[in-house]
Amino acid sequence: MNYYSTKNKNHSVNLKDAVLKGLPPDNGLYMPEIIPGLPQDFFENISSKSINEIARIVSKTFFSEDLSDDDIEWIADDSINFEAPLVQISTNTFVLELFHGPTMAFKDFGARFMSRLMSKLISKQDKTVHILVATSGDTGSAVAQGFYDVDGIHVTILYPSGKVSKIQEQQIATLDKNITTLEIDGTFDDCQHLVKTAFLDKELNKKILLSSANSINIARLIPQSFYYFSAISQLEKVSDLPVLISVPSGNFGNLTAGLIAQRMGLPVEHYIAAVNANDTFPIYLESGKFEAKSSVKTISNAMDVGNPSNLGRIFDMFESNPERIRQNISSFSFNDDETRNTIKKVYAETGYLFDPHGAVGYLGLEKYRQDQQINGIILETAHPAKFKDIVDDVTDGNLELPERLKKYMSRTKTSIGLNRNYASFKDYLISIAG
């Protein structure tokens, strides 16, 4: 299967080029030429399938022309080796917990899968692949862990200074070997701008083989579709009402993966793009005109994105038609006070503890659904302990850190401070390439 640029459908490349290059030269985003539908018997028997079985089937649908079945099964089995349980917290309200991987965030699905896919794609070449990643929180830790000590790959992670949680920073900025972290004096949008500029720098790309592990890379998105199918698999065991999924949204890769799953036949009635104070998408749905904004710092920091990259893919899927997008997606914005109040309220009423991102997802679901008889699924994208200070303050509690997070807190920070000037960033990249 080939992959085209969202800015020029005549620019088409194979899987290896799409994954290793990350971005097309025209600054578009790669999309599969075909989003293949899954057979009817897949959905008739979905309730009997594990997430690992789903990963195998969906992966083969996309990658069978490029990789052997054995390679695809190894990638799926070695990367998706943890669960995404669906938890019912009240009548017709469910939470899909995506934090049971190594770094306790949903990014583990895409990052682990991508690292193994990329290792297969580069196994017969000598040149080191340099992966650039901009993160507003959990992407960095998932990518760092997913690619740690992988031969032939060096990872540079950029994160905004003072704008990620302490636990997130410890997960991002304490590794060695093939992982380097840059603490950028700026916002996530500044980090993302540096990465995109590097990919478009012809001089730099002649010297270094650059790739991306952000959700701008198609290899991150396809495995994120797995847990949407898994959610329906688990839900079919308890209910047959129509399904609405609320997705806490920042760079919109998670939502795009859900839309891809829907195109493959996933029976989802509607999606909610729940956002924090960074409200460019709800404004777009209301006005029909997209305008990027500077990002605003919030307690749901992984969603602090003023110019979401993956909107380019959503616009492509719906031919930039706002009305068609509205038929499939609604979007609402919520502030920090509403988020805090929701964490407190849901915990008091149900005993379920959301992180700030999941709380925004809950707010989006409730605002859209109101009294409709419809199953609502909220994607809980990170363990609440990753935002311990916020959660403890709201609930007057003292949430204990899971062992997987405790081990990071004693490690020494190794990140390099850097300004947001592109020339400084380029000099750094050239220096590590030798």
Instruction: Respond yes or no: is residue 407 known to be catalytic.
Output: no
- Closest C-alpha among 171, 167, 161 to residue 388: 167
- A 10 A CB-CB count for 188 gives 30
Place of tokens 């070997």: 177
Cα-based distances in Å from 77 to 7, 40, 236, 375: 34, 24, 24, 30
| Strand 3-5 relative to strand 8-13, pairing | antiparallel
Which residue of the set 16, 21, 60, 107 is catalytic?
107
Place of tokens 């399904």: 243
- Bridge partner residues of 382 (DSSP): 105
The C-alpha atoms of residue 199 and residue 178 are separated, in whole angstroms, by: 20
The C-alpha atoms of residue 97 and residue 272 are separated, in whole angstroms, by: 17
The C-alpha atoms of residue 243 and residue 377 are separated, in whole angstroms, by: 7
Cα-based distances in Å from 88 to 118, 371, 380: 36, 18, 12
What amino acid positions are annotated as catalytic residues?
A: 107
